[in-house]
Amino acid sequence: MRRYLKFTYAALVYAFLYLPLVVMVVYSFNASRFSMQWKGFTLHWYDALIHDASLIQAALHSLTIAAVSATVACFIGTVTALAIHRWRFVGRKAIHAVLFVMMMSPDIVIGISLLVLFIALSLPLGFWTLLMAHVTLCMPFVAITVHGRLQGFDPHVVEAARDLGAGELEVWRHIMLPMTMPAVLAGWFMSFTLSLDDVIIAFFTTGPTFEVLPLRIYSMVRLGLKPEINALCAAMILITAVAVVTTQWLLKEQK
Amino acid sequence: MKDSRFFRRLVVTAILAWMALFAFGPNLLVLLASFGRASGTTFVEPGFSLHNYLRLLEPAYGRIMLSSLWLAGGVTLICLVCGYPFAAILARTRAPWRNALLLLVVIPFWTNSLVRTYAMIAILNANGIVNRLLLAMGLIDAPLPMMYSSGAVLAGLVYALLPFMVLPLYAALERLDQRYVEAARDLGATPARTFARVIVPLTMPGIVSGCMLVFLPALGMFYVPDVLGGAKGMLLGNFIRDQFLTSRNWPFGSAASVAMTLVMGLMLLLYWKSNVRLSRREWI
């Protein structure tokens, strides 16, 4: 009895989480433009997406920003994680605390504070400002993931390598790097999805010269249900799902 | 040796400089702006007065703050009450299934929440799934107007943020040492008492971080009311955005943002306390 109750409850929560997404994906294949009635299967809306040049442009902008900011965030985040793991210095605990606070900060607070910074430095809003904003958003996630991985290290491995005559460089090349790599890659995919997901920070930190996909969706969505938007959103979900499955797989590999 | 010390100093300085520029700098500027006055040409006229904060407390704006806090509180409570048993079920599932079930929570967690909010339209619409189901069952005669109401915003926020509650709760519940629960039972505690006195205190960090991950975005996700309609002036996020983009009163918007940061600070303090209490207990 209890088992069935648990099973039903979990099934209900999953239904709540997935029903809207499934309905949206199904309707992205619906031939009818204006109604919720099913009028047959079509790929027309996907075809329309591919031929919308400005939409493709926005999608390319989004993917570029996601890939570049993930790479930069990974570099800074990994260096930070290694520094607070290996070295003892003044401000080490403070860095850790700041990373945590940055991770918890609401997007809108990050967005407007960076907007104020960019305006104060009189930087024109566009690619570079959005890139800096997304690196700021993603870097703490990378640093915390990599740091967590480093904490799980067996320190004896390094000691053993030292005893066997490995120098600092060899320890890095043959031990630290291979062992942190899965966490760094997971951090990269995490940053990539974070950047693709973000609406609020991009809303404040990019300009009309550099439109990204979530902002494009935001301006389309305010007009209500449209099959093209369904198709676009379905494509976004697919990209996210692939990135998430890859991240999980990478994080599992290391255990 | 000298080289490595130089390298070390260089790296640490670079990290600290990066943080000063992108973490401290912007927040300091917002704090400074919140004490200033609006200006047509330079956005902010520097000064030192608390009038923006006092204005936030005026009835017209105080009402927005209160209704936003109230709505976010409701969203957090619903997510906690629905998410806790769900996370507990997940944490008790056997290994091969558990990873798959967990992945099904992680995917919506990372999916664009604007996309997910948009998906809610097809559910809440006049001819959406819920209305059609209720009509088919004969429970209602005409479609319920669910869109463009504060209920729709509440539902949208719960939908968008539920995974953010479930994952920290899951992490805490998975780490929970079952021997404590068994010990409480053996000593004669009722299930309710075991839950209140053992399970909840031991999973408190998870509860607080889940609440933080739901409550703070629920104050700020301005696109949810935009997409689902209704409650137009209810979210602090919409208010801040409008001050920055339409009213062009940056100092006033900054003051609201500082207020939000203070709420975050309060929640972080709670989190820290719950962690400290837990680790102290482990030493006894």
Residue B108 lies in domain: 61-283
User: Who contacts B250 (Cβ-Cβ below 8 Å, separation ≥6)?
Assistant: A116, B33, B38, B43, B44, B243, B244
- Beta carbons of A193 and B110 less than 8 Å apart: yes
Provide the pLDDT for residue B283: 47
Report if residue B7 sits inside a domain: no
Please list every residue in chain B whose beta carbon sits closer than 8 Å to the beta carbon of residue A135. Answer: 22
Question: Which one has a higher pLDDT value, B227 or A73?
Answer: A73
Distance from CA of A165 to the nearest CA of B (A): 17
User: Who contacts A212 (Cβ-Cβ below 8 Å, separation ≥6)?
Assistant: A58, A61, A62, A65, A130, A202, A206
Under 8 Å between Cβ of B88 and B165: no
Report if residue B50 sits inside a domain: no
- How far CA A71 is from CA of A36, B69, B135, B196, in Å, comes to 42, 37, 51, 45
Indicate the pTM of the whole model.
0.87
Residue B274 has pLDDT above 50, yes or no: yes
Cα(B118)–Cα(A17) distance, rounded to whole angstroms? 13
| B153-158 mean pLDDT | 90
Under 8 Å between Cβ of B212 and B261: no
Report if residue B15 sits inside a domain: no
- Tens digits of per-residue pLDDT, B173-213? 988 888 888 888 889 888 888 888 888 888 888 899 899 99
Provide the pLDDT for residue B1: 45
Q: Which two tokens stand for residue B195?
A: 């839950």
- Beta carbons of B16 and A115 less than 8 Å apart: no
Question: Which one has a higher pLDDT value, B165 or B138?
Answer: B165
Mean pLDDT of chain B: 85
Residue B37 has pLDDT above 70, yes or no: yes
Q: What's B255's domain CATH number?
A: 1.10.3720.10
- Candidate from A89, A120, A241 with C-beta closest to B107: A241
CATH number of A53-253: 1.10.3720.10
Q: Kindly identify which residue of chain B lies nearest to residue A241, measuring between CA atoms.
A: B107
Residue B231 has pLDDT above 70, yes or no: no
Domain residue spans of chain A: 1-42, 53-253
- Tens digits of per-residue pLDDT, B121-151? 878 876 777 777 778 887 777 777 777 777 8
| B269-275 mean pLDDT | 85
Provide the pLDDT for residue B254: 92
- Tens digits of per-residue pLDDT, A38-95? 777 888 888 888 888 888 888 899 999 999 999 999 999 998 998 888 778 788 888 8
Cα(A13)–Cα(A84) distance, rounded to whole angstroms? 40
Percent of chain A whose predicted confidence (pLDDT) is above 90:
24
Question: Which one has a higher pLDDT value, B44 or A180?
Answer: A180
Number of folded domains in chain B? 1
- Beta carbons of A9 and B241 less than 8 Å apart: no
Please list every residue in chain A whose beta carbon sits closer than 8 Å to the beta carbon of residue B27. Answer: 109, 113
